[in-house]
Amino acid sequence: MKYELKATARYFLPIYLAILTLSLIIGLRGVNETFLPFLNFLLPTILGLSFMGLMVMTVILIVTRFDKNLLGDEGYLMFTLPTKVTTLIHAKLLSSMLWILLSGLIFLLSILFITFRHISFLDLRILWDTLPKDYMFLLLLVLLTVVGILQSLLQVYASLSIAQSYSITKNRVLGGILVFIVISMAFNIFESVVSLGGTFFFRESPWLQMVMDETMFQNIEDIFQFFKSFMTVYLVYTSVKAVLFYFFTKYHLEKKLNLD
């Protein structure tokens, strides 16, 4: 874990720093500053590009760290260490998770830096107070984000592990992408069938009609209620998927390792 963080920090920290400085400069200049007008265009462009770069880099690093460090030459070291395979997976998973969350935080911070001259904190306070305080909803939202990220990461890991076990293509990453697409399609089909089936069976159900009517016309509390039950179902489904991918990864790295 320690080494995984160290290895990835080399890439992330510099770009975080760059983004924050850039947003700070933009924020300090103010949007309507006339000084050096071309900067009005240039700076946001650079910032936008850095964000895109950050996103692309995050994805690429997640894939290459797993591929190179575990399935490439470095795997000869990692898999001969007297540690559990699960420890290796956890280290990768947690540090990737951390970087994704940090990237999100940096994004928010950067927005804040850019706009801090134009927003009053009093307004924010009032906005905050008027929002309905539904902690259950917030909790669900956070859980859903976290589990969603974990699930996607694990799908990437599972795809790469499966691809290496059966040497699907000469190029490991390419094989991983193929497996990833196949898995995604399979789940898509499954999800469509379920939701189609759902609408088919419930289309004449008076209960659903009632629920729909209620949510359409009732107050905000009820809409929240509806969202919450929907989110809970989705959360459980995503967790199941995540666990499934976790065991796929573990099985293929433990029992079907095939380093070349």
Partner 1 sequence: MMDPIIQLKHLSKHFGKTKALDNVTLTIPKGKIIGLLGPNGSGKSTLFKILNGLLAPTEGEVLIGGHAPSIESKGLISYLPERTYLNDWMKVHELLDFFEDFYEDFQRNKAMTMLEALHIDPKAALKTLSKGNKEKVQLILVMSRKAEVYLLDEPIGGVDPAARDYILSTILSNYAEGATLLISTHLISDIEKIFDEVIFLKDGGIYDYASVEDIREKSGQSIDELFREVFKC
Under rule CB under 8 A, residue 74 binds partner 1: yes
Q: What one-letter code names the amino acid at 235?
A: L
| Tokens found for residue 159 | 């795809």
Given the structure tokens 């909790």, which residue do they identify? Answer: 139
Min dist CB 6 to partner 1, Å, is: 9
By CB under 8 A, tell whether 73 contacts partner 1.
Answer: yes
Axis-axis angle for helices 85-115, 135-165 (nearest 10): 130
Asked if 3 is part of the footprint of partner 1 (rule: CB under 8 A), the reply reads yes
In terms of CB distance, is 90 or 228 closer to partner 1? 90
Q: Which of 84, 188, 196, 236 binds partner 1 (CB under 8 A)?
A: 84
Q: Least distance (Å) from partner 1 to the CB of residue 7? A: 7
Residue number, 6 or 117, with CB nearest to partner 1: 6
In the range 101-160, which residues lie near partner 1 by CB under 8 A?
none
Q: Does residue 77 touch partner 1 according to CB under 8 A? A: yes
Q: Which of these, 75, 83, 19, lies nearest to 48 by C-alpha position?
A: 19
Q: Which of 35, 37, 38, 81 binds partner 1 (CB under 8 A)?
A: 81
Within 10 A of 53 (CB to CB), how many other CB atoms are there? 13
Q: Which of 24, 25, 231, 257 binds partner 1 (CB under 8 A)?
A: 257
User: Contact at 8 Å (CB) between 177 and 169?
Assistant: no
Closest C-alpha to 156, from 233, 58, 257: 58
- Name the one range near partner 1 by CB under 8 A: 20-28, 95-103, 110-118, 252-260: 252-260
Number of residues that bind partner 1 (CB under 8 A): 20
Tokens 């691809």 correspond to 163
* Residue 82 binds to partner 1 (criterion: CB under 8 A): yes
Gyration radius of the chain's alpha carbons? 23
Amino acid at 207: W
DSSP annotation of 117 reads T
Residues in touch with partner 1 (CB under 8 A): 2-3, 7, 10, 73-77, 79-84, 255-259
